[in-house]
Amino acid sequence: MTESLSPTTATGPRGAMGSATAGSRSSRRKRGLLRRTGIVLPAFAVAVLMVGIVTAAAYVTHSNGNGASGLAQAIDSLPRSGSVALLEQERQTIIVMDAASKTLSVASKPAMVNPSQVVASQQASTGSSTSSSSSSSSSGGGTVYAPPPNPGTAQQIGYDMLPQFGFSQKTQWGCLLDLWNRESGWVYDATNVSSGAYGVPQALPGDKMASAGADWQTDPATQIKWGLGYISQIYGTPCAAWNNELEYGYY
């Protein structure tokens, strides 16, 4: 015998199944919405925070301060984050740029040289150098001036012989006088006991002067003649021989 199904029995399971299916669909929609809002809302919050940070920094920078100092105050009032770190780097860059601009602002213009001043300076330097050289020469390193000697002396013989060897009495006499004053005192028989040098010019050995005359041992004129020839051949002038005497102690 076949039993008829009651409407409640037939529809009960379908109704339950239908409600279960609708519930699952609703829960999936909620989870999808949560996923979307879970991403969008934090991103939106970060964007709002960044806009607020930038707006606050711009306001503080332009209203309460300027440059790096105003930006520093704004950064100090904010919580530390990655964005704040970027702003801190920007502040450091501004500080460096400010320092560089101040350094460039104090640079001076290149000095311009007046050509006339350069020429005048060179002329003054040349004149000073010439004056210094003249002073050095007159102080003993060059020409030595001395009055003519007394007549009848060995010095008078040497003074008179200077022109015979091409020497100026005015410029060379003083050097010859000092040279032989130091060597022998113009004494014809002056002898150096250690070396054996002899006579007015202190020839070494003394018999070298025999080329000027047989009386080289006793005649100062013969000795002076030989001495001036030696000076002319070796040094050129009495003053050159005197300079060598001053520098090395001999001529």
Can you tell me the distance from the alpha carbon of 145 to that of 171, in angstroms, rounded to the nearest whole number?
A: 6
pLDDT of residue 106 exceeding 90: no
The total number of structural domains that make up the chain: 2
Give the whole-angstrom CA distance, residue 193 versus residue 50: 109
Residue 121 lies in a domain: no
Average pLDDT over residues 131-156: 69
Strand partners, 197: none
Q: Assign 124 a pLDDT band (cuts: 50, 70, 90).
A: low
pLDDT band per the 50, 70, 90 thresholds, residue 160: very high
Residue 96's φ and ψ, nearest 5 degrees, are: -65, -40
Task: Place 81 in a pLDDT band, splitting at 50, 70 and 90.
Answer: low
Q: Which of 3-12, 30-39, 88-97, 189-198 has the lowest mean pLDDT?
A: 3-12
The tokens 């050159």 sit on which residue? Answer: 240
Is 123 a domain residue? no
Same domain, 148 and 224: yes
Model confidence at 100, pLDDT cuts 50, 70, 90, reads: low
**Structural domain range at position 173:** 141-248
Distance CA 172, CA 12 (A): 153
Residues 150 and 97 in one domain: no
Verify that 150 and 82 share a domain, yes or no: no
d(CA 177, CA 190) in angstroms, rounded, equals 16
State how far the alpha carbon of 93 is from the alpha carbons of 62, 88, 101, 105, in Å.
18, 9, 12, 18
Asked whether residue 46 is assigned to any structural domain, the reply reads yes
Average pLDDT over residues 63-91: 60
Pair 148, 173: CB distance under 8 Å: yes
Distance CA 64, CA 40 (A): 35
pLDDT greater than 50 at residue 65:
no
Q: Is residue 125 part of a domain?
A: no
pLDDT in tens, 167-224: 999 999 999 999 999 999 999 999 999 999 999 999 999 999 999 999 999 999 999 9
* Average model confidence (pLDDT) across the chain: 73
Q: Which of 45, 75, 102 is the last residue of a domain?
A: 102
Q: Is the pLDDT of residue 130 over 70?
A: no
- Based on the domain organization, do 146 and 233 belong to the same domain? yes
Q: Same domain, yes or no, for 158 and 220?
A: yes
